[in-house]
Amino acid sequence: MSVSEIFDTMDYGPAPESLSEAMAWLDGHGRAFGCFIDGAFTKARGDFESRNPATGDVLATVTQGTAEDVEAAVKAARKAQGPWAKLGGAGRARVLYALARGLQKHSRLFAVLETLDNGKPIRESRDIDVPLAQRHFYYHAGMAQLMEEELPDRAPVGVCGQVISWNFPLLMLAWKIAPALAMGNTVVLKPAEYTSLTALLFAELCSQAGVPDGVVNIVTGDGQTGALITEHDGIDKVAFTGSTEVGRHIRRATAGTGKALTLELGGKSPYIVFEDADLDSAVEGLVDAIWFNQGQVCCAGSRLIVQEGITEDFYARLKRRMDGLRLGDPLDKCIDVGAIVDPVQLETIRAMVDGNTEGETYVAACAVPEGCFYPPTLITGLSPAAQLMQDEIFGPVLAATTFRTPSEAVQVANNTRYGLAASVWSENINTALDIAPQLSAGVVWVNGTNMFDAAAGFGGVRESGFGREGGWEGLMAYTRPAKARKAVKQVTAFPAGKAALGTLDRTAKMYVGGKQARPDAGYSQRIWSKQGKLLGEVGLANRKDVRNAVEAAHKAAGWGKTTGHLRAQILYYIAENLSAREAEFAARIDDLTGAKGGKAEVVACLDTLFSAAAWADKFSGEARSVPIRGLALALREPTGVVGVLCEGASPLLGLVKPMAGVMAMGCTGVFVASEAFPLAATDFYQVLDTSDVPGGVVNILTGAHGDVAGTLADHMDVEAVWSFSDPALTKRIEEGAAGNLKRTWCPVGGVADLPMREVLEAATEVKTVWVPYGA
């Protein structure tokens, strides 16, 4: 037998990892755990079992956190938060560094315990999960050290309620706790019901590393415990990783409470293979994309999209590779695919695959052990609209379809309600970098997959949630403005006077698609001065007016593809034309408000337009320093269509500041003018008409904010809603946003106090594009 034949036929022998240390740790705690609150474990109650999914053996019993437990944890976190923040960035950096070192010193114990509890192969726990968790604490120790110098105008949010998923128990904990602690927050974290053990080991490490009592609290339990945390009045910020449906529930439950919220939810990530790709490398990448962690990965490349010319060849290579995958004991270092986390999840996977009636199913020809295991499966010939192409399976099942042209690849890839991650495979870097910006995803990997780092933001768009984990953008989610802003006094329209209508109609129309438009409802409202003078009339917008404005905004999406330089020139032009009519607008504002601040407000509008124009070609992305031979590019992309309820007290600035930020970043907008003083906004569209603003980029509606706020929030084609209006509308806006999980921004304080940078942050999403060098 030749050497090559020996290598083709040889089998891997077993290489089991010792579990003695992990078992000793469990035995040392009597295999029963309470919650970790205020620096100590509570008495264990043995409410539910944590099992090894590969064997079904009970590892330990865990406590179901009650309302009393959550109350105690929040109280401890609140008490500890002030002193922890006052410790300063340098002091917190020392503690985070100690946590990182502790994870290193006990890395094998964490890895084995993670595999025992979750069922993932020990190679993944040892080589990916634990090192990445360490990396996050090291990285954020540096962020803590730099906070006072680099973020002097930011402060901690307060007490953070964090709920994490079972697929990466330790890594998700690190993603949540490290940035929170770095910025001076305290946390109450709930690990997943199935996988609590590494979080409890981490709690023990916190005591050893010098984390002050109450700074980190771990409350175990199921979804009911999670709800107690996210809905607790003492929680200032909620961070959740899990299913889209639960995320939607949390969005509704926290609506109107003032809690900051970030959601990292489900995905159905496309894996696009062009005909010029290195097919063998693409196959290996696909193994990592879909069979890593048994496919129980929110960003798994679960939708294979292959160019038609190579379909048969690629499928043949893939099936051959699938047949060589090894299933079995996750503690065996030779195993590729471990156990499904729980029989409930296993049955969910089976039901989805067995219920499929489309395409052809191929099951890997490899031995499948008894118990909680599912074989690698490929289903080809699916239509893009097939259920398995649309719904998250969360298992080792790959759904596949084909494409002909690059534009069709983008169309099929974006044909999903999710937007977490995507992979593009092509040896032509021009093709890859042309496709990457067109994909609706928070992360894009070029000729690679599942690349993560603490310096590179991770998170999604659409129904994959909002917010980022890692990088500067992830850090900002755990801070708030250091200087408190006073709420703006709500204004109401002046009462009707006795002046009669003149013979000349002065009814202002709405502004939709670059044209004046009459209100659909046919109703108008008179606007009076403080002295009872009739200043004019405006239409009252309804649902159809919102629909028309959103459609016009979508048709103007090409605005986002223009250069920052072009957008800056148009913003300067708007300022130039507004300046020419400064006295006229100042007088109009004085008439509307009954005050003498019109001139100052117009000047503020001019400064705002210049500021937005200055940033338009400068507020961009950056290359992040990540430990690979390649680049991780953090690109700023426009959020999309933004609905804005303008501030009432500043009738012109309340429109111009959000409009300038939206335009500068390439978004389009639907702006509902000041409810009390709308005529300044309707005058302003005359300036837009003479400033080369493309139709549909700015759409202006008038009328009662309460009549249209819900419509904007519910609209599935609106990507964000900002409200500078009545705070009473916030709850309705945030509840409606749960429909497509759009971003909302309802800041405290007036627009005059808002730094332009905050407006630009709200108008952009950060997309991380990973581009490795070479092979």
Report the amino acid identity of residue 743. R
Q: Indicate the burial class of 239 (C-beta count within 10 angstroms; 0-12, 13-18, 19 or more).
A: buried
Q: Indicate the burial class of 635 (C-beta count within 10 angstroms; 0-12, 13-18, 19 or more).
A: middle
- C-alpha distances in Å from residue 270, one per residue of 352, 410, 516: 19, 10, 42
The residue with tokens 């679960």 is: 302
| Residue 458 C-alpha from the chain's centroid | 8
Strand stretches in 329-372, DSSP E: 360-363
| β-bridge partners, 49 | 61
Catalytic residue among 35, 206, 298, 746: 298
Q: Any idea of the CA torsion for 122, 127, 130, 134, to the nearest 10 degrees?
A: 170
Tokens found for residue 286:
């696909």
| Residue 690 C-alpha from the chain's centroid | 38
* Number of helices (H), then strands (E), in the chain: 27, 33
Question: Is 206 tagged catalytic?
Answer: no
**What is the rounded distance in angstroms from the CA atom of residue 759 to the CA atom of residue 465?**
20
Q: Which residues contact 424 (CB under 8 A, 6 or more apart)?
A: 272, 274, 431, 432, 435, 436, 439, 444, 445, 446, 447
Residue 738: CA count within 13 A, CB half-sphere: 20
Q: Any idea of the CA torsion for 730, 731, 733, 734, to the nearest 10 degrees?
A: 110
If DSSP codes are grouped into helix, strand and coil, which group holds residue 560? helix
Catalytic residue among 264, 463, 637, 719: 264
If DSSP codes are grouped into helix, strand and coil, which group holds residue 456? strand
Q: Phi, psi (5° rounding) for residue 212?
A: -60, 150
Strand stretches in 491-639, DSSP E: 507-508, 510-512, 515-517, 524-528, 534-539, 622-624, 630-638
DSSP string, 480-500: EESS--PPPPP--PPPP-SPP
**What is the rounded distance in angstroms from the CA atom of residue 267 to the CA atom of residue 381?**
21
Question: Is 21 tagged catalytic?
Answer: no
Which of 15, 105, 26 is CA-nearest to residue 62? 26
Active site amino acids: 264, 298
